[in-house]
Every structure is written in C-alpha cells, then in structure tokens.
Amino acid sequence: PLHPVGERAEAALEGHALQRVEPIVHAGLRHAQVVFPEELGIGQTGSEHFLVARKDGRAVIGGLAIGALATMILVVNNLRDRENDARVGKRTLAVRFGVRFTQAEYIFLCLAAYGLVALGIIMGIFSRWTSLVALTVPFAVLECRAILTKDGGALNPHLGGAARLELLFGVLFCVGVVL
C-alpha cells in the first residue's frame, strides 16, 4: 500500500482527486512526477527505511540525481515530438514553452544530476568514490550538444543516448556508494 500522501499524489497525477482536477500528465507536467515521485521520494526511500530502519539524505539526493537523468529522456522525447504534440493538442513543456526552454531544461537536469552528487560528497552523505560518476561527463557533454544542435528525427539516437547516460551514471554511482 502507498503512503497516504503518496496516494493523494497518485490520485492527482491520474486526475481522480476529490475535485475535478486536470491530470498532471495532460497539463504537460509529467516531468515533475519523474523527478519528484510521490513527494520527493516518500515511496522510493521507504525501502531504505524498511531495510535499515532509517531515512537519510542519501536516498533523497541520490534519487533526485537519478530522477533528473531519467527526466532527460522525457525531455528529449518531448523536444523531438513537439510539433506533432502541438497539432494533436498535447501541452507538453516543449509545446508550451518552446525549444530554448526545453534545451535549457535538459541541460539544467544534466547539471543537477552531477551537482547533487557533488553536494552529497561535500555534505559527507556520499563517499568520494561516488565521484566516479564524473567519468560519464564526456557522454553528457555529447548528449547536451546534440540537444542544442539537432531537431526532429535526428534526436532519435539521443533518446537512447540519454538512457545510456543514466545507466552508466547509475552503475558508477552505485559502485561509489558500495565502496
């Protein structure tokens, strides 16, 4: 069962709240669900709490970093599909705010992922080994350049590129946490 706050968040996401609320998905705000699932990871950090009988910043900061990278996949998809989405009435952030905003969002999310890990290291939440994620920076730079220079179908390979970046970052982050 979901945490009571998570249940309300899920209901709002699906548009079944007590009031007739437009679902977040249709309002073009699905990205918020990926980066901030169930109010900053109440459900996601619950497994850490269950396993180690505590909740600390590691799960939240780590979850936000990985969530930012996962959201990058949605952003490149929305950037690629924005013209068709506008024709069919989807109000994604790319449709609502345009190309430059969407490109800036992608770069912000990428920087946020690395910045959150650095913040965790500085705060002593993560060991210095988590800085292994820096090995993925060249891939991140390539993906960010592509977002700034390509459009439409030319972005197709970069959906996979963003996913590979998230996977590699996640593996190196996990290795760093374990070491």
| pLDDT tens profile 136-152 | 999 999 999 999 999 99
pLDDT greater than 60 at residue 6: no
What predicted TM-score, i.e. pTM, was given to this entire model? 0.74
44 to each of 30, 35, 118, how far by Cα in Å?
17, 12, 21
Closest CA to 74 of 24, 10, 2: 24
SS3 18: coil
H runs (alpha helix) in the chain: 4-14, 30-35, 38-52, 57-88, 93-122, 137-149, 156-178
Rounded CA-CA distance 140/169 in Å is: 10
Rounded CA-CA distance 154/94 in Å is: 16
- pLDDT at residue 161, rounded to an integer: 97
pLDDT category, 49, cuts 50, 70, 90? Answer: very low
SS3 23: coil
- State the residue for tokens 């790319």: 94
